[in-house]
Structure 1
Amino acid sequence: MSHTAHIPSHRKPRRSASKLAVRAGVAGGVLSTLAMAGTASASPAAEPATETTLEMPVLNMDLGSEVSSAVIKAADNTRAQALVGELTAQEETARTGAAAEAKLAKADAQAKADAEKKAADEANRQADADRANRASGRTQLASASASGSSSSGSSADSDDSGVRAPATGSASAIINFARNQVGKSYVMGGTGPYSYDCSGLVQAAYRQVGVSLPRMSQDQSAEGSSVSLSNLQVGDVLYWGSRGNAYHVAIYSGGGKFIGAQNSGTGIVERPLSYDPPTGAVRIL
């Protein structure tokens, strides 16, 4: 019987290569320590060697569990980092989108403001052009106005401006209607009741007293009889251009003023004759 038979068996199921490597390392360390101790205790007088039986330590480390735990932890960290990255990307996309929308809204607002300014500038330019065009015919009337003044000035009841005093009756009804339209819009082709062009306003005003006038400015300027601008009376039709070929008409309202649908920029207004001096006038009543 072997002298080591009394050592109990410690057989366990076969372990993996990693566990065997750990056991071998521990065992080697223990043997090295014993060898060093034996060398240090040697003396010149050798003593009989005593046989010593060593019991190898058993490692109970579960390396598989630790590795699995480490892998799970690493996977959790990776997922957490991926989630953080995804959230960061979404936030960046949202910021970029908001900035783009704000930029677009600003561009739209600027474009709208530019368009409104352009429209206002165009309306003012058109008004200036209309005044310039109407003023171009004034010299053509100068000689006729002078002769008309000499022939009729003595028989007219004039005020300080050289024009007749306001009339009553039908003329008053025409002016009252026209004055009630002041402030409404000018619309090309408009005949009321919410908007008018120049000849539409004159036609509608004369309709109040039962007088039917043609629709167009040039035809209205050919109606009635010509009168001097210095011999006007309330209700006379003023025209710009030439008689029978006028491009604008209005109604003399007395006191050196007229009422007319001027343009889209001003609408229907009452202004002094000096604002836009007419070329001539006709008397229909």
Structure 2
Amino acid sequence: MTAQTYVPSLAVRLGAVCALALAVTGATTLVPGGTPEATAAAVATRALHVAASKKGAPYQYGASGPHRFDCSGLTLYSFEQAGRRLPRSAQQQYNSSRHVSATSRRAGDLVFFHSGGSVYHVGIYAGGGRIWHSPKTGTVVRLERIWSHSVWYGRVG
């Protein structure tokens, strides 16, 4: 396959992934320069699209993209591409985010899995009880149902 035929099909695939993310989240395009909450929502939506575009990228401990990721590396990369800087580890990302309740969560919020008060995993909420994340060694970035009740939510401002 030549680069000329591969690039358009990749663009179509990425466009479909972003369209899927919009459909799952019910997101809309927001006007730049809106309220701080609207701006944060636009950033979160963009980060969600970036994470979705990395579907199938292999997990690698300590990797933060653009081709391999661990869990916090995927969230760091996604928000960085959307214009926001995050700390490196899942725990640091939790500490730096604005904590929101499960009933207030929305697409683009961070989902933190915890045990004994410590955060051990992070993903980006996609709506419908699902997250985009990079799970563990031997897996790839994927959309998956939240499997635990031991989660906290954080919003990137």
What is the TM-score normalised by the length of structure 2? Answer: 0.69
Q: SS of the residue aligned with 1:174? A: helix
Deviations 1:223-253 (A, max 9, x none): 2221112221111011011698311111001
Which position in structure 2 is the counterpart of 1:11? none
Which position in structure 1 is the counterpart of 2:105? 232
Question: d(CA) in 2 for partners of 1:218 and 1:268?
Answer: 20
Question: d(CA) in 2 for partners of 1:205 and 1:244?
Answer: 25
Matches for 1:116-195 after TM superposition, within 5 Å: 166=27, 168=29, 169-195=42-68
Q: SS of the residue aligned with 2:112? A: strand
Q: SS of the residue aligned with 1:281? A: strand
List structure 1 segments (4+ residues) > 4 angstroms apart after TM superposition: none
Q: SS of the residue aligned with 1:172? A: helix
Query: In the TM superposition, what is the alpha-carbon distance from 1:196 to its structure 2 partner?
Result: 0.3
Percent of paired sites with the same residue: 31
1:217 aligned to which of 68, 71, 90: 90
2:74 aligned to which of 179, 201, 211: 201
In the comparison of the two structures, how many residue pairs are matched?
A: 121
Cα 1:281–1:266, aligned 2, differ >3 Å: closer, same or farther? Answer: same
Which position in structure 1 is the counterpart of 2:139? 266
Asked if structure 2 preserves the Cα contact closer than 8 Å seen for 1:202 and 1:250, the reply is yes
Question: d(CA) in 2 for partners of 1:203 and 1:243?
Answer: 24
Asked if structure 1 preserves the Cα contact closer than 8 Å seen for 2:59 and 2:141, the reply is yes
Query: In the TM superposition, what is the alpha-carbon distance from 1:171 to its structure 2 partner?
Result: 2.1
Matches for 1:1-285 after TM superposition, within 5 Å: 166=27, 168=29, 169-241=42-114, 245-273=118-146, 275-285=147-157
Question: d(CA) in 2 for partners of 1:277 and 1:165?
Answer: 24
Structure label with greater radius of gyration: 1
Cα 1:252–1:284, aligned 2, differ >3 Å: closer, same or farther? Answer: same
Cα 1:259–1:231, aligned 2, differ >3 Å: closer, same or farther? Answer: same
Query: In the TM superposition, what is the alpha-carbon distance from 1:209 to its structure 2 partner?
Result: 2.0
Identify unmatched segments of 5+ residues in structure 1. 1-163
Question: d(CA) in 1 for partners of 2:150 and 2:144?
Answer: 12
- Partner AA of 1:245 in structure 2: S
Cα 1:172–1:219, aligned 2, differ >3 Å: closer, same or farther? Answer: same
What is the TM-score normalised by the length of structure 1? Answer: 0.39
Across the aligned residues of Structure 1 and Structure 2, the Cα RMSD in angstroms comes to 2.2
Question: d(CA) in 2 for partners of 1:166 and 1:180?
Answer: 16
Query: In the TM superposition, what is the alpha-carbon distance from 1:279 to its structure 2 partner?
Result: 1.3
Deviations 1:49-89 (A, max 9, x none): xxxxxxxxxxxxxxxxxxxxxxxxxxxxxxxxxxxxxxxxx
Question: d(CA) in 2 for partners of 1:241 and 1:235?
Answer: 19
Which position in structure 1 is the counterpart of 2:3? none
Cα 1:172–1:255, aligned 2, differ >3 Å: closer, same or farther? Answer: same
Deviations 1:25-64 (A, max 9, x none): xxxxxxxxxxxxxxxxxxxxxxxxxxxxxxxxxxxxxxxx
